[in-house]
Every structure is written in structure tokens, then in C-alpha cells.
Amino acid sequence: MGVSSALVLFAVIWFLVLFVVLPLRLTTQGDVGEVTPGTQAGAPAELNIRKKFKIVTAVAFALWVVIAGVIFSGAISVRDLDMFGRMGPPVSDGGS
């Protein structure tokens, strides 16, 4: 895996974790009972986005380390994910 692949993998994991973490512990304006005119009742009352970004980054980094470790170790390869056998048999390198 190259540097750009590692960065793309981290970005994908980061955004997936972000969309999981965003609704956690969310208090809406409707829950509080103080709806600002011009907004919906489902809008967040208080959203500490900086804290959520820190949590997302920490969790995403931990997941990235595990996934990148599995990829680098070779424990799971693309051939393991080929359910329909489209890749064919592995090509030998002529012996080593």
C-alpha cells in the first residue's frame, strides 16, 4: 500500500466514523424546547464539533492502524475477497 492509498483509506474510515459519531448524544432544539425562529426543531441545540472531531480522529486512527496492519501483513488479500473466482488461480513467481 502506497502513501496515497493509506491516506485515502484513512479518509474513508474517518468519514465513516464521523457519520456514526455525529448523532450520538445529540440534543436538538425541540428536545430543549427553545427553537430558534427560522430553524427546524431537529436542529442541534449545542454541537461541540471540535470535541467530536477529536473523538472521530482518535477512533479512525485506531481502526486505520488495525486495517493497515492486516493489509501489510498479508493476512487478507484481494483474492480472499474474490467470491466469484474472477481473478483465476494465483500466478507462481517461478519458485524462489
Mean pLDDT on 50-72: 94
Task: Give residue 94's pLDDT.
Answer: 63
pLDDT band with cut points at 50, 70 and 90 for residue 86 = confident
pLDDT band with cut points at 50, 70 and 90 for residue 92 = confident
- Residue 2's Cβ-side half-sphere holds a number of Cα atoms within 13 Å equal to 2
Q: Which of 17, 45, 5 is nearest to 29 (CA)?
A: 45
Task: Give residue 34's pLDDT.
Answer: 83
Digit-coded pLDDT (tens) for 1-43: 788 999 999 999 999 999 999 888 888 888 888 888 888 888 8
